[in-house]
Structure formats: C-alpha cells, structure tokens
Amino acid sequence: MPRPFSMKKVIITGPHSVFEKVVKELHDMKVLHVVDHSKNELADIGKPFADSQRYSELLVKARALISALGVTGERKRSNGINGIEEAEIRIRNLGNELNGVLHQIKEDDETISKNESMKKELLAFGSINVPLEHLAEYKSLNVFAGNLKDAESIDNIKKKLKNITDKSLFEHESSFFVFFVESKKKEETLKLLNSHGFKPIQLSNFGSLKGTANSNISRMEHESNDCLSRKIELTKRLERMKIDNAEFLLKTESHLSKELEKLEAPLKCASTESCFLVKGWVPENDLFQSIENLEKVSGGKIHVWYDAPKSSDNVPVKLNNINPAKPFEFFLDLYSFPTFKEIDPTFFVFLTFPLFFGMMLGDVGYGLVGMVLFWFLKRKIKSAKNLFNILIVSSFVSILFGFLFGEIFGYEFIEHPVINRAHDILTLMIISVIIGAVHLNFGFILGFINERKSHGLMHAINTKLSWIVLQIGIVLIGLSLSNLINLPWYTGAGFLALSVIMLIKGEGIRGVIELPSILSNILSYVRIMAIGLSSVILALIINESASEFFKGGPLLIIIGVLLLIVGHAVNIMLGFLGSFLHSLRLHYVEYFSKFFHGGAKKYVPFGYLNNGNNGA
Amino acid sequence: MVDMGTGLIAVGAGLAIGISAIAAALAESTIGAAAVGAMAEKEELFGKGLILTVIPETLVIFGLVIAYLILQMAK
C-alpha cells in the first residue's frame, strides 16, 4: 500500500563553536524539517549569527528596488554573487540614482501642472498688453482685474465711471478687464463694478511674473515642453536601469534570502550559553547519511539523537509516489495531507480521476483541444505545472472514451459505437452506479486497512466492513424479491441486521443515522452519466443549428461557422470545468470520506526555498 | 402532436429536475458564501470549502434520476 515516507524524529545538540557549520550543512543537505523551538525555562531561542542585520537590510533594499523598477521574472537560483560588499555598493548607487530620477520626474510633473493652471488664468488676458508686474499694490492707485457678468456692461461702466473720476485707465477684452483707479475712489468704483457682477482674480498669483500675459504664456509653454521631454528621457533611463539591473537584482535577492535563512536559523533553535539544540524530522532513508555528514563537518563535536514517531506526534509528511502519479499530489495539497500512519491515496486518485474525467468529457475533439490547450498553458504558467499535467492526462483519457462513444465534437463518427451516450442513457446510468459501488467499496477496504492500523482489527471490521455487509444484504434482498436467485428474502435481511449491529458497536447510534448515505453516495456517481449527457446534448444542438445555416447562402454559412466555433468553445469550457470539479468532488466527498482523515503538515526541509513550483 | 398525458409526464419530469436544482442552488449559495469567507481567512480551507459547497448537489442527481424514471412512463 502506498504510504508516505517514514520519518524519524531527530534532535541535534552541540557547542556553539560548530553551530554555524552545522546550520550550513543542514541548509545544503535539505533534509531536516525544523520544528520551531518556543522559549521555555530550560533554553531560550538562539540569536541570529553576526551579519544577519546587514543581510536583512540589504535584502529589504534589493526588494524595494525590484518593486520600484517593476522587475519581474523567475527568481533564479544563483550560486552566489560577487561578494556582499560589491552588492552593497551597487545597490546603494542604484538606490541613489533611482531616487534622483524619481525626484526629478516628480519635480517636472509639479512644474507642468503649475504652469498648466497658471496658463488658464493668463489666457483670460487675451490681447490686453499690461505688463503683469504693473498689477502690484500702489499708494495712490488701485488695481482691479477680473470678469464681468457680460461684455455689454463694459460700456455702461465706462459711462458711469466718468461721473466718479477722470483719473482711471480701463483695458478690456470681451468681459475680462484690467482697471486702474485712484485710491480715493476705490470704494465707489468697487460698488459700481459689483453691481455688474464683478468677479475678481487673485492678482497675488502673478506676483513674480514679468512682462505681458502673452509673453508669459509662451515662456511657460516652452518650460513645460522642456519638462515633458526631460520626463520622457528619464522614463527611458528608468527602463534602461531596469533592463541592466534585473538579473543582478533577482540574483542578489535570491542569494540574500538564502543566506538570511541560514543566518536567522538560530531563531528556530534552542540555545543555552554554550550549546545549541535543533529539533526536527528527517526521512528515514536520508537519516544515516545526514548524521555522517554532520559529524564530519563538526569534527565529531555534535550529538544526534533519533527515534521513531509516537502516535501523538504531529509528523510532517513527505509523499512517496511513482513519477506519473506525482502531479496528483496537487489534489492532496488542496485538501489535506494524510498523516504518517495513513494510506496515501494519490496513486488511486491517479487511477480513477482521469477515468471519471474522461467518461464525463468523452469526446475525441474536445480531448484533443484539451491536450493542446493545457500543453500550451503548462509552458506559459510554470507554477501550475502539476494541475496542467493532470488535465493533459485526463484529456488523453477523454480521447479514448471519445472512441468508445464514437463522438468527435458531438458528431457520431462511428455508426455503432460501443455506447451511444445520447441514446443509451439507462445503460450509462447503470454503468455509473456500478463504478460508484466499486469505487466506494474500494474506499471501504482502504478504510479498513487504515482503521486496523490505528484502532485495531475489531474496530476496523465494525466500522468499515459493516458497510460492505450492508450492501450485500441490500443486494440479496433485491435479488431474492425479484426471484433472480433462489434464496428466501430473510437471508439478505440477516446480513442487513448484522451490519446494523456491527455499526452500532463500531460507531454508535451515529452510524445508524448515516445508513441512507450509502445510497446517496452511490447514486451520486450518476453524475458521471449526467455531465456527459448534458455535454453531448449541447454539442448536438450546436451542430444541428449550425447545419441549418449551412443550407443557406455564403453569409449564412459564415454565421454557421461562427456558431460552431463559439458554441463548441463554450461547451468545451463548460465540459472541462464540470468534468474537473465533479470528478474531484466524487473523490473528495464520496471516496475520501470512506477512509481518509488527513490533517498532517507538509514536509518542508530547511534550505528548501519555496519557489512556487508546487501547485497552483 | 403529443397527447395530453405525455405532455404532463414531460412537465412532471421538468419539475422534478427544475425544483431540485433550485433547492440545491439555494442551499449551495449560503454554504458557498460562507466557504469563500472562510477561504479568505485561511487559504488551506479550499478543499474542505469545496466539499461543503457541493454536498447539496446530490439533490439534483436525485431529481435527474426521478425525472428519468418519470420519462420512462411515456414510452
């Protein structure tokens, strides 16, 4: 039976003098799943090694540069950089340069927006050629500048002004005006202006400007253009900086985080004044080689204690599967990892998942589209490699079932296929139920093995075999009542009663309440037929409506082709989604509930940086 | 044209699957919302969330089986 790798609990102790060497060796070996030490009265957690501050500061800076420059790409595993000092200098210079560039860009942006708003106000001056510096405050003169409600009132004002004073100067362009008047008459003029809807502009805004409005506008336009072209130049420079430094930054980031993991390792370990202690788990296969390596680097100054896990231990789990089944570990990653005592169901999921998926999709055309599509996506999205491998295998099985059902894009290309999905509904329903019964009973057998190991034989018989006895009872009653076998009906009833007694002994009254679930669980497998049926009916509808169009003229034929493409694309999407989720559900809900407990931690050895290459 | 009886059988089959689908949808909507909420807090709950969400789906399968049995009456 496939089970996870067997693990050993390991405790490594030694003097501080060899601590760093041990950590480095552990990091290189990548075998120890470290269990964090929590502070207690016997030992505190360790202090990070020297330089960790320096590394972590540099790492923060490198990451800041990566995000500021928008560097993307795979974090390359590097075998080191040209020394930390060189990296420090380069990162500092890069940081300064970037700050300068960003500062300049910000300043230019500000200038441009300031000029823009000033220009709007100055445009109102139009052809009024009053130098702006003249719009200042005087002892004997008062300046008004602004808009009137309408241009017609200007003449009106001019007329009335003559009654107030003859010492004034009035310049205007449509409703905008600039108006100088002697200070003594300020109040009266303001009243007059206000009665014509006067809206003043802030003259203090122009305090520093010299020359006429028009000359200022052209000067500002010139300045803005300069800023804009400089900004384009700077953006190009940023792009160059990004291209030139991307590899260096990614490499440095990867190197630093690797180094930092080593330097900060003491934080996970227990430490006294003179010794350290590391707790963790090592796969049994690697144990002796690792101990040998550690003793070699420490010159025999350390002591390694190991033991088999106790049932109360929370053992990290490393799955042990043959290569073709490995991508299917993804499903356990999504759900839960089996504990170290349990059977690892990955291999069985590998056998049945593509089968269910294939039966549901079951079309040569759709399967081919799936294989090509997922192969392409697998190359594009490396992080979801496992998922796409699963889908490629499943699509391949769909092609095989496509030949069995004689379907290619819904067309029946074999006249008398083994099973016609659109017509042999009852046959497929019965096949689905049989598959369900077999699958579930296999689950019960796995459950029996698991229970026997964890709770003993009697418990295993009572909780798992009882369900199989129950099914035998139901089948016997059914067969004898329909006179298919020559047995009195109470033989089956006897089996039924026996199974109920076993269940009560094994699981108590809860087991009896659960009795009908066996029926609903088996019936749930009818979905294999149902999803397939809906997919094939939809394909038939698409094909039939398209063929109606093909009878018409060229335009209708084009519409028909479009209908075929869009319709099948939608149906393929629905088919993949439905087949995937329902196949997964049959495993998670119906199958796993028969034997699987899970809840273990994943084995992540020290030194194994998570590169995002396990699962989506 | 089909006769009245066959028509009623078809309506019955439609109701069997339609109402069970509505029931499953109502049940799943509540569970699904809660499951997504839980997943937002803790991503590892995806598997459990999926299972809890799709449990009522069996209702539709029952509806489908009954609909099929009803349709057999028309033959």
Is the CB of A584 less than 8 angstroms away from the CB of B50?
yes
Is the CB of A585 less than 8 angstroms away from the CB of B57?
yes
Say what the pLDDT of residue A75 is.
Answer: 58
Q: Best interface-test mutation with B: which of A329, A349, A520 has the largest number of B CBs within 10 A?
A: A520
Q: Which residues contact B17 (CB under 8 A, 6 or more apart)?
A: B60, B63, B64, B66, B67
Is the CB of A581 less than 8 angstroms away from the CB of B54?
yes
Say what the pLDDT of residue B13 is.
Answer: 93
Q: Which chain B residue's Cα is nearest to A429? A: B65
Q: Which residues contact A591 (CB under 8 A, 6 or more apart)?
A: A345, A352, A439, A440, A443
Is the CB of A526 less than 8 angstroms away from the CB of B51?
no
Among 3.30.70.2750, 3.40.50.300, 3.40.50.720, 3.30.420.10, name the CATH number for the domain at A130-211.
3.30.70.2750
**Residue A491: is its pLDDT beyond 60?**
yes
* B62 closest CB neighbour out of A334, A523, A588: A523
Residue range A89-117: average pLDDT? 90
Whether this model's pTM surpasses 0.80? no
Is the CB of A585 less than 8 angstroms away from the CB of B62?
no
- Residue range A18-70, pLDDT digits in tens: 888 898 889 888 899 998 888 887 788 888 888 888 888 888 998 898 888 88
- Residue range A185-231, pLDDT digits in tens: 788 888 888 888 888 877 777 767 778 888 888 888 999 999 999 99
* A523 closest CB neighbour out of B44, B54, B61: B61
Q: How many Å apart are CA A380 and CA A305, to the nearest integer?
A: 46
Q: By three-state DSSP, how is residue A602 classified?
A: strand
Is the CB of B58 less than 8 angstroms away from the CB of A426?
no
Residues in chain A with CB shorter than 8 Å from the CB of B51 are 585, 588-589
Residues in B 35-64 with any Cβ partner in A closer than 8 A: 44, 46-48, 50-51, 54-55, 57-58, 61-62, 64
**Residue A579: is its pLDDT beyond 50?**
yes
Residue range A91-97: average pLDDT? 90
Residue range A91-96: average pLDDT? 90
User: Rounded to a whole number, what is the distance in angstroms from the first to the last CA of chain A?
Assistant: 28
**Residue A135: is its pLDDT beyond 80?**
no
Is the CB of A429 less than 8 angstroms away from the CB of B68?
yes
Closest CA–CA distance from residue A115 to any residue of chain B (Å): 47
Give the residue with greater pLDDT, B74 vs A544.
Answer: A544
Single-letter residue type at A582: H
Closest CA–CA distance from residue B23 to any residue of chain A (Å): 16
Give the pLDDT band (50/70/90) at residue A507. confident
In this structure, are residues A429 and A436 in contact, taking their beta carbons and an 8 Å threshold? Answer: no
Give the pLDDT band (50/70/90) at residue A612. very low
Is the CB of A588 less than 8 angstroms away from the CB of B47?
yes
Is the CB of A524 less than 8 angstroms away from the CB of B58?
yes
Q: How many Å apart are CA A273 and CA A16, to the nearest integer?
A: 8
In this structure, are residues B31 and B55 in contact, taking their beta carbons and an 8 Å threshold? Answer: yes
Give the pLDDT band (50/70/90) at residue A439. very high
Say what the pLDDT of residue A78 is.
Answer: 55
Give the residue with greater pLDDT, A347 vs B69.
Answer: A347
Residue range A370-394: average pLDDT? 92
Closest CA–CA distance from residue B64 to any residue of chain A (Å): 8
Give the pLDDT band (50/70/90) at residue A433. very high
Say what the pLDDT of residue A615 is.
Answer: 32
Q: How many Å apart are CA A492 and CA A45, to the nearest integer?
A: 65
Domain boundaries, given as residue ranges, for chain A: 130-211, 346-594
Percent helix / strand / coil, chain A, rounded to 5: 65, 10, 25
Listed range (A73-87, A168-182, A469-483) with the worst mean pLDDT: A73-87
Average pLDDT, whole number, for chain A?
A: 87
Give the residue with greater pLDDT, A4 vs A155.
Answer: A4
The dihedral through the CA atoms of B42, B46, B49, B53 has a sign that is positive
Residues in chain A with CB shorter than 8 Å from the CB of B54 are 581, 585, 589
Q: Which chain B residue's Cα is nearest to A582? A: B54
Residues in chain B with CB shorter than 8 Å from the CB of A334 are 46-47, 50
* A589 closest CB neighbour out of B55, B64, B65: B55
Is the CB of B61 less than 8 angstroms away from the CB of A588?
no
Give the residue with greater pLDDT, A544 vs A610.
Answer: A544
ipTM above 0.85, yes or no: no
- Residue range B6-50, pLDDT digits in tens: 899 999 999 999 999 999 999 999 999 999 999 898 877 877 787
**Radius of gyration of the CA atoms of chain B, in A:** 17
Nearest CA among A251, A256, A260 for reference residue A77: A251
Say what the pLDDT of residue A350 is.
Answer: 95
Residues in chain A with CB shorter than 8 Å from the CB of B65 are 429, 523, 526
**Residue A611: is its pLDDT beyond 50?**
no
Residue range A485-499: average pLDDT? 87
% of chain A residues with pLDDT over 90: 35
Q: How many Å apart are CA A3 and CA A571, to the nearest integer?
A: 39
- Residue range A223-276, pLDDT digits in tens: 999 999 999 999 999 899 888 888 888 888 888 888 888 888 888 888 888 899
Beta carbon pairs, A and B, within 8 Å: 41
Give the pLDDT band (50/70/90) at residue A132. confident
Q: Residue ranges of the alpha helices (H) in A207-273? A: 213-263
- Residue range A445-463, pLDDT digits in tens: 999 999 998 889 999 999 9
Say what the pLDDT of residue A77 is.
Answer: 55
**Residue A614: is its pLDDT beyond 80?**
no
Six token digits for residue A270: 């227990």
Residues in chain A with CB shorter than 8 Å from the CB of B62 are 520, 523
Residues in chain A with CB shorter than 8 Å from the CB of B64 are 526, 530
Give the residue with greater pLDDT, A561 vs A1.
Answer: A561
Residues in chain B with CB shorter than 8 Å from the CB of A523 are 58, 61-62, 65
Q: Tell me, rounded to whole angstroms, the distance of Cα A323 from its chain centroid.
A: 26
Say what the pLDDT of residue A74 is.
Answer: 65
Give the residue with greater pLDDT, A523 vs A82.
Answer: A523
Closest CA–CA distance from residue A6 to any residue of chain B (Å): 24
